[in-house]
Amino acid sequence: MISNRVTKGVDRAPHRSLFKGMGFSEEELSRPIIGVVNAKNDSIPGHMHLDQIAEAVKTGIRISGGTPIEVPCIGVCDGIAMNHRGMNYSLPSRELVADSIESMAEANAFDAMVLIPNCDKIVPGMLMAAARVNIPAVFVSGGPMLAGRRKGKVLDLTMMFEAVGSVHAGTMSEDELYEMENYACPGCGACSGMFTANSMNCLTEALGMGLPGNGTIPAVYGERIRLAKEAGMKVMDVLEKGLCPRDIMTIQAFENALTMDMALGCSTNSVLHLPAIANEAGVDINLDIVNTISSRTPNLCKLSPAGPYHMEDLYQAGGVQGVIKELASKSLLHLDLPTVYGNTIGEIADQAQIFDRNVIRPIDNPYSETGGIAVLRGNLAPDGAVVKRSAVASEMMVHQGPARVFDSEEAAYDAILNGKIQKKDVIVIRYEGPKGGPGMKEMLSPTAAIAGMGLDKDAALLTDGRFSGATRGASIGHVSPEAMAGGPIAIVEEGDIISINIPEGKLDVLLEESELQYRLGKWTAPEPKITRGYLGRYARMVTSANTGAILE
C-alpha cells in the first residue's frame, strides 16, 4: 500500500507519532488510508452541506475496513462571482483545485480517494487531479438544488439574472424582483438547471467515475446521504481491484461522456473541461470529435435554461441511467466499459428505467436529431467556437447582423441595459479569453440581460470568453484563437457584418481575405490587464479555449 510510506517500519516511528497525536489508533494505521477530499465551504450553496456528505463517506469507508482522512479543497461560486472581478478567478481556480489535491494525495501517501465536489470548476478540477495522481478514486457530489417555487411558478437562478434585464426594460417591478430573489434558490445544492455544475456531475457518471445517481439525486434527499455511504464502501472495492482513474477514463469513456453531453444538452463549459480532464488522463480530445459525436447523437432532454424541466424532474424521470438506457438502445455508447460502481455501462443501462417520456424523450422522437452543443468554425474562429444549440431559438439558428464591438464584458453589459443594442445586432465581447480576461470570465449577466429585455430571439452575442450553463440564446463562446493571442476576433470593427450558421457550423465576418489580413497585420496586443499574482502567472501560462484552457 502507498500508505506504508508513512505508517510502516522503524524509520516511520516519527510519522506514526504524529498520527497518534491526532488520535489515530494502531488498528486505524494498519488499514488502507483513504483521502476524503471535501470542498465544503460556506460561500457556495452547493457546498454548504458537504460536511454531511463527508461524514457519510467516512462511515462507508470505516464499514468496509478503511481509515478515512478528510482534507479540504477550495471552491468558487460562479453565481456570486458573476459580473465583477471575482469571475476572473473562477476558471483559474480549476487548476488550483487540481494542484492542491495532487499535493495532498502525494504528500500524505493516500492509498485511494473519495472526492466530494458539487459546483462548477471543482468537479473538473477534481477529475483532473484524479487522472493525474491515478490512485483508486470514487466521486460523490453534493447533488442538485431543488427548483424554487412561488405562486405556482417554478424559479431558478437563470430567471433571477434575466429578471434584472426585465426590470431595466420596465417589464418587471423591483418589488417583484425582490420577491423572486427570496424563493429562486430554496436551499443547498448545485443550482437547479442543467448548468455547469450539474452538467459535470452527470458527465462524471457517464465517464464511470461516479455512482449511479451522482448527478441527479437532489441534495436534500436522504438518498444522497446513502449514496455517500455507498461511495465510501465502493472505494474499498476499487482499491482491492486496483482499478485506477486512467483505467476508467479512456478515449471510449470520454466519447461516452460527450455523447451524454449532447443528449442532455449540457453547459458549453463541458467542452472546456472534458479536454482538460482528458489531457491529464493522457487522452486527446479535440473540437472535431465534439462535432462528430454531436452529429450522430439526438438531443433527448430540455432542462433549464433550454426548457421547462429541472434536475429534480430528470431524477424522477430515471436520471442519467435512464438516458444511458435510451442511448444504448441505438448503440450510441461503449457498453463494455468499467465503472467505479462495479457494473459496466451496459449493465447500468440494463437495470435502468424511464418513468417520464416528456423529460427523457424516446430516441426515435428527440428534440433534435443532433446534439445540444455545436462547434462553429470560420474566418472569425479558425480554431473553433462553441454554442449551446439546444438553447438557441429557431429564429436565431441562421443570423446575419452588424457587429457591436466591446473590449470588456462590463462595457457590453452597460450598453445592453441602456438600450443601445438593437434587433439584428451581433454583440462582440473580446479580450475576455483565458489570457485576455485573464481567466475567461463567464458572462451570464449580458446574456441574461438580453433575454430579460426580450432580445434573445433577435440579437446574438459572441465572445472569446465563456458562458454560464444557465445561458440561453444565440450566445457563442470560446472563440479561438482569442483576441489576446491575435485571433481574428481582435480586428472586428463596429458595423462589420457577422454571419452565423449554426446548422452548418459556420461563424464568419464578411470581409475580403485581403482586408482581414491587412487588419491582422496592423494589430498589436494591448497591455495585459493583470500582470501580478496568481492571475498574472495564469495569463502567461494558459492556452486558448479550444485546448481546454490548459496550462503549458
Active site (catalytic) residues: 468
Residue 388 and residue 472 in contact, taking contact as beta carbons nearer than 8 Å: yes
- Upstream peptide bond of 338 is cis (omega within 30 degrees of 0): no
Cα separation, 195 vs 9, whole angstroms: 49
Cell numbers for 84: 465583477
Q: How far is CA 522 from the centre of its chain?
A: 37
- CA-nearest of 440, 434, 430, 375 to 552 is 434
Q: Three-state SS string across 75-112, please?
A: CCCHHHHCCCHHHHHHHHHHHHHHHHHHHHHHHHCCCE
Residue 454 and residue 393 in contact, taking contact as beta carbons nearer than 8 Å: no
Cell numbers for 232: 465510501
- CA-nearest of 377, 370, 371 to 546 is 377
Task: Categorise residue 539: left if φ over 0, alpha if ψ from -120 to 50, beta otherwise.
Answer: alpha
Question: What is the β-pairing status of strands 148-150 and 153-155?
Answer: antiparallel
In sequence order, what DSSP letters do the residues of 113-176 get, joined into one string? EEEE--STTHHHHHHHHHHHH-S-EEE----BPPPEEETTEEE-HHHHHHHHHHHHHTSS-HHH
Cell numbers for 294: 454531436
Return the number of other C-beta atoms located less than 10 Å from residue 323's C-beta.
31
Q: How far apart are the first and last CA of the chain?
A: 32
Residue 44 and residue 119 in contact, taking contact as beta carbons nearer than 8 Å: yes
**Neighbouring residues of 352: CB distance < 8 A, sequence distance ≥ 6:** 212, 318, 319, 321, 322, 324, 325
Partners of 427 in the β-ladder: 404, 461
Q: How far is CA 449 from the centre of its chain?
A: 22
